[in-house]
């Protein structure tokens, strides 16, 4: 049984002090409150940063507000502990405000590997789309790229200024993963069909009627209602335009779709203007 099929009881948020990381915390807390889920915060003491700080040519670091003076491994470790303490306080404050069950954990290692391992024990991972250093990796950081490809559970990516909301748009391409994506989107949309938008590709020519019928059957089977829109193109720009036109405040993609590949996914995140979930 996939995490999507068994529900959303445990939500993991990848914590760091960047703007993208703070957006992830706000979004994860909002989702946990909406779904009455447990919120688990994870802060990874980045082994690569510690290794870099131990090198003799290590210079000033800008890896977070507490680490600006870090010049060697010992001071970097202290800076990371200070950042972890700050983030635990922010998590506790948000959880208390929303009356959430929560926990906080610190690990040390490669960030992507630690997140992928932790994802095995939760139903959804929420993380910022950019890395700690916004000048590196553009709109999709290297950690986000790795987790998008390797996480065994669904992953939500947030940019600063975006929070998951409704309506929820979901791409229904006829794959098995799309059925799981539709189930997840329906759970997030709740209430009535005005909050769920099923996007059905119309290419190749003549594909839409049969696929629309399959989607409508799946909606009835799951007890869901949705607005069904045909999508003339599945390019990042075209899909983003369809989501915006539908008023979508959250987009759910089926894992394995070409838009989940790193370059296309980065372009989609840049254009869509709302959080995106890769559903598994």
CB-based burial, 111-125: b 16+ in 10 Å, e otherwise: bbbbbbbbbeebbbb
- Whether 145 and 19 map to the same domain: the answer is yes
Kind of pairing, strands 124-128 and 38-46? Answer: unpaired
Q: Say if residue 228 is in the same domain as residue 250.
A: yes
Kindly state whether residues 34 and 137 are assigned to the same domain.
Answer: yes
142 and 11: one domain? Answer: yes
Q: Note whether 186 and 272 are same-domain residues.
A: yes
Same domain, residue pair 142 and 227: no
Domain membership of residue 272 (yes or no) is yes
pLDDT at 80: 93
Please give the pLDDT value at position 70: 43
Domain span holding position 189: 168-279
Distance CA 3, CA 275 (A): 19
For residues 22 and 136, state if they share a domain: yes
Pair 77, 45: CB distance under 8 Å: yes
> Poorest-confidence range of 16-25, 67-76, 254-263, 267-276?
67-76
Residues 226 and 140 in one domain: no
Phi-psi region of 214 (alpha: psi -120 to 50; beta: other; left: phi over 0): alpha
In a domain, 228, yes or no: yes
Picking from 123, 158, 193, the residue at the C-terminal end of a domain is: 158
Domain shared by 117 and 65, yes or no: yes
As a whole number of Å, the CA-based R_g of the chain is 19
Tell me, what CATH number does 199's domain have? Answer: 3.40.50.620
One domain for residues 24 and 154: yes
For residues 157 and 50, the model is more confident at 157
| Mean pLDDT of all residues belonging to the chain | 88
pLDDT digits (tens, 9 = 90+) for 190-222: 766 679 999 999 876 556 678 889 999 988 888
Among the three residues 114, 135, 158, which one is the final residue of a domain in this structure? 158
d(CA 4, CA 26): 22
Average pLDDT over residues 236-253: 96
Q: What is the pLDDT of residue 67?
A: 45
Is residue 163 in some structural domain?
no
Tell me if 23 is assigned to some domain.
yes
State the pLDDT at residue 61.
47
> What pTM, to 2 d.p., does this model score?
0.87
- Residues 24, 164: Cα–Cα separation, whole Å: 10
3-12, 16-25, 39-48, 186-195: which has the minimum mean pLDDT? Answer: 3-12
pLDDT tens-digit map of 120-173 = 999 999 999 876 554 444 468 889 999 999 999 999 999 898 989 999 999 999
Beta-sheet strands, E only, within 119-241: 124-128, 154-158, 168-171, 196-201, 227-231
According to the model, what pLDDT value does residue 136 have?
44
- Same structural domain for residues 37 and 148? yes
Query: What local confidence, expressed as pLDDT, does residue 6 receive?
Result: 55
Query: What's 141's DSSP letter?
Result: -
Tell me: do 124 and 186 sit in the same domain. Answer: no
How many domains does one find in the chain?
2
Q: Helix %, strand %, coil % for the chain, to 5?
A: 45, 20, 35
Say how far apart CA 94 and CA 84 lie, in whole Å.
15
Structure token pair of residue 142: 């290297």
Has residue 32 been placed in a domain?
Answer: yes
| Share of residues in the chain with pLDDT > 90 (%) | 67
When pLDDT is averaged across residues 248-264 and rounded to a whole number, the result is 96
Residue 146 lies in a domain: yes
State the pLDDT confidence band at 52, using cuts at 50, 70 and 90.
confident
**Least-confidence region, from 57-66, 249-258, 264-273:** 57-66
- Of 107, 124, 158, the residue that ends a domain is 158
Greatest CA separation for the chain? 64
- 3-class DSSP state for residue 105? strand
DSSP string spanning 156-179? EEE-TT----SSEEEE--SSHHHH
Q: What is the mean pLDDT of residues 93-115?
A: 97
With 60 as the cut, is the pLDDT of residue 188 above it? yes
Determine if the peptide bond prior to 167 is cis (ω within 30°).
yes
């Amino acid at each position: 049984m996939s995490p999507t099929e068994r529900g959303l009881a445990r939500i993991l948020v990848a914590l760091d002090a960047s703007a993208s990381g703070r957006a992830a915390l706000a979004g994860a807390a909002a989702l946990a409150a909406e779904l009455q889920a447990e919120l688990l915060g994870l802060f990874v003491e980045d082994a690569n940063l510690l290794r870099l700080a131990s090198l003799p040519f290590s210079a000033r670091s800008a890896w977070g507000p507490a680490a600006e003076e870090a010049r060697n491994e010992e001071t970097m470790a202290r800076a990371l502990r200070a950042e972890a303490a700050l983030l635990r306080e922010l998590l506790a404050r948000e959880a208390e405000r929303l009356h959430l069950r929560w926990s906080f954990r610190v690990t040390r290692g490669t960030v992507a590997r630690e997140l992928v391992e932790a994802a095995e024990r939760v139903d959804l991972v929420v993380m910022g789309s950019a890395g700690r250093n916004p000048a590196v990796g553009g709109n999709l950081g290297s950690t986000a790229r790795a987790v998008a490809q390797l996480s065994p559970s669904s992953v939500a990516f947030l940019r600063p200024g975006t929070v998951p909301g409704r309506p929820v748009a979901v791409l229904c391409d006829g794959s098995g993963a799309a059925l799981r994506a539709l189930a997840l989107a329906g759970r997030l949309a709740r209430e009535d069909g005005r909050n769920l938008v099923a996007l059905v590709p119309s290419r190749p020519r003549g594909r839409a009627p049969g696929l629309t019928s399959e989607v409508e059957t799946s909606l009835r089977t799951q007890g869901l209602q949705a607005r069904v829109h045909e999508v003339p193109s599945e390019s990042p720009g075209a899909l983003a335009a369809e989501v915006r036109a539908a008023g979508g405040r959250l987009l759910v993609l089926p894992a394995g779709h070409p838009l989940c590949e790193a370059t296309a996914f980065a372009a989609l995140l840049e254009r869509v203007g709302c959080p995106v979930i890769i559903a598994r």
